[in-house]
Every structure is written in C-alpha cells, then in structure tokens.
Amino acid sequence: MKVLFYALVFLVVAGLAHILSLFAVPKLARGDAFHWLAQDAPIHAVAIVEPSRLRTSTHIDPNFALGVCRYDLSGGPVRIRVPLSESFTSVTFAELGTGVFASVSDRAATGGSLDVVLATPAQAAKIASLDEEDQVVEELRIRAPRLRGLAILSVFIDRPSARERANATLTQARCDQESLPE
C-alpha cells in the first residue's frame, strides 16, 4: 500500500513539473523571432535585416525586406514613419513574452507615408488633449501596453529585382523618440 501511495505522489509531482515546464519554456527561450530580430536592433533607429540572415531564419519570410527598431517609451512617445513603396508595407509592434500587440499596413497611410505614434496610455492621453477640436489627425496612434519592445517594418518583395527598392524604402524610414509638449 505504501508503494502505491509513493507512486501516486511521484506521478502527481512529475505531472505538475511537466505542466509548469511547458508554461515556462516560451518565457525562457531565446530562439524566438523577437530575440532573433532584437539582437542587432538599435534603440530608436531602424536597422535593416540583411537578406542573408532572412534566408537562414526559420522565423521570417524571405520575400519581405525587414527593418527593426527597438523602442523605449520611458522618455516619451516614438514616431515611426515609413515612406510608401510600390508593394505592401506594414509596421508590427511586438513585446518580449507577449508577442505582437498591434500592426498597421499601408492601407492606413496618409500623405505618402505610414506615420505611427506609439505611446503609453498616459502619453496618448496627453497627446489627445493637445489636439484641436476641428483638427484632422494624420497619424495613427497606438497605445503600447509596456515601455519597451520592437517595431518591425516590412516591405513585400514581389520580384527579386524589387529588393533594392524595398531596402531603399526601409533606409528612408524613421524611428524617432519625441518629447511631449508642456
């Protein structure tokens, strides 16, 4: 009877350990797309991901030219501006541990560029309070749940000869921290 009791306790403990490890692995793993993209990305500047890295990655479609910008909202909101290209363009926002929390495409662009302001809820409220009543807001405003993360800029490459133009679009992209007016 004692052996059966110990076997049952062992199975329960082993089962709990197994379940806990399954939940812990995604948080502890360093081989995900977030870490892969963030390793060379500067803060508040766009870094273009080299095509050779895209071909060796299992996380990224090589038919996209990618630019990556790490952001930190502790000093103020971040404005990301990407000129429109001939093909599909998007900006995706991701955080470590939680993944993608927002994405916008060139369909939302105005004035020849995709203009996005990323801010904390408090910063976004301050920005909104400064708007005039009859003022048309030209930028997209996204509230970030956390202070730090990645902005992933993607330009679709519909033919091999379009890679240079896609990279030129990403070279012109901006990822700048802005200060809030008093």
Q: Which CATH architecture has domain 33-177?
A: Sandwich (2.60)
Is it the case that residue 26 has pLDDT exceeding 90? no
Q: What is the mean pLDDT of the chain?
A: 83
- Could you give the strand order of the β-sheet that contains 99-105, starting from the edge strand earlier in sequence? 47-48, 64-72, 148-156, 89-95, 99-105
Say whether 155 sits in a helix, a strand or coil: strand
Q: Which amino acid is at 140?
A: L
Q: Encode pLDDT of 51-105 as tens digits.
A: 766 566 666 677 888 889 989 999 899 999 998 888 898 999 988 777 889 999 8
**Number of neighbouring beta carbons within 10 Å of residue 25:** 9
pLDDT score, position 38: 67
Domain ranges for the chain, please list them.
1-30, 33-177
Res 143: pLDDT: 93
- Global pTM reads 0.75
Range 28-54 average pLDDT = 71
Q: Indicate if the pLDDT at residue 127 is higher than 70.
A: yes
